[in-house]
Amino acid sequence: MANEKAKHIIFYFTGTGNSLKDAKRIGDVLSADGGCGIYSMSGEPPVVTADTETVGFVYPTYFWGIPLRVKKFAETLDLSGCGKTYCYAVTTCGGTAGNALGQLNAALKIHGGKLNYGTKHKMFSNYILMYDLETDIAGITAQTDQTLLPILEDIKNRKQNRVVNHRIVNIFWSSIMRRIPDKDRNFVVSDACTSCGVCAEVCPVKNIRMENGRPDFLHRCERCVACINYCPMRAIDYGNVTQKRNRYQNPDVGVSELGWHEV
């Protein structure tokens, strides 16, 4: 997806494909104007120059904030020489976005960046650890395709808005996220596992390795639950919570597009 000579750059982070789909659709709109490079935030950030016309960030909302990986990525991205570059963010979510935009804006400011525009995009809600999932994937996906259209227009027209950092929400987010990486101790793998390795392939932070044909969790989890949703045998669950719950995969994103991608 990378295009080193592109005028437009999009950085994405995704677990089950929702944010990647939005990034690709934004890229389709911008690619006619000088090309668009799409990069995973799983890798190290490339150099963004003053010639870059737009930089976008597309990522999911986790616990009313941003994924830990997105925070780390944004804090190391140098935008100090890109004062004229239009920066925008779209955070996908099942409900509220909390402070996911404000947190990203604060992280970008460390090295001279700033969001000119930020918005949320409500998509298929898939946090299987808290609730069962809807079954009408096609219908809900069609609806979210339509709700993205005005966002595409905003980005195309370089709309600007004020992105506020809600520090009180950060307290809630921080209290949860500091415990998240180690919560993978609660994942269980049944005898239905066939050692296919799909769970390790789709994990966006390389938190899973196959040991003796079984998934081994490395305690840097983001709780994106891609491993649960993409296991073809439904062999991975969270404690005794998810066994009877539906699974979700974005129908427009393939398994080979997910996981860890070096920039």
Q: State both tokens at 206.
A: 């390389």
Q: Are strands 187-189 and 236-238 parallel, antiparallel or unpaired?
A: antiparallel
Q: Which of 152, 139, 114, 134 is nearest to 21 (CA)?
A: 152
Q: How much is the pLDDT for 261?
A: 65
CB 23 within 8 A of CB 69: no
Cβ atoms within 10 Å of 239's Cβ, excluding its own = 11
Are 154 and 119 in contact by the 8 Å Cβ rule? The answer is yes
SS3 string, the chain, reads CCCCCCCEEEEECCCCCHHHHHHHHHHHHHCCCCCEEEEECCCCCCCCCCCCCEEEEEEECECCECCHHHHHHHHHCCCCCCCCCEEEEEEEECCCCCCHHHHHHHHHHHHCCCCCEEEEEECCCCCCCCCCCCCCHHHHHHHHHHHCHHHHHHHHCCCCCCCCCCHHHHHHHHHHHCCCHHHHHHEEECCCCCCCCHHHHHCCCCCEEEECCEEEECCCCCCCCHHHHHCCCCCEEECCCCCCCCCCCCCCCCHHHCCCCCC
Model-level pTM? 0.94
192: which residues sit within 8 A by CB, 6+ positions away? 233, 234, 235
Neighbours of 50 (CB within 10 A): 11
Could you count the other beta carbons within 10 Å of the beta carbon of residue 256?
Answer: 8
Task: Write down the pLDDT at residue 32.
Answer: 85
The per-residue pLDDT for 34 is 81
Q: Digits of tens for pLDDT over the chain (263 positions)?
A: 444 568 999 999 999 999 999 999 999 999 988 889 999 998 777 788 889 999 999 999 999 999 999 999 999 999 998 889 999 999 999 989 999 999 999 999 999 999 999 999 999 999 999 999 999 999 999 999 999 999 999 999 999 999 988 888 888 899 999 999 999 999 999 999 999 999 999 999 999 999 999 999 999 999 999 999 999 999 999 999 999 999 999 999 999 999 876 54
Per-residue pLDDT at 4: 55
Domains of the chain: 8-173 (3.40.50.360), 181-257 (3.30.70.20)
pLDDT of residue 262: 53
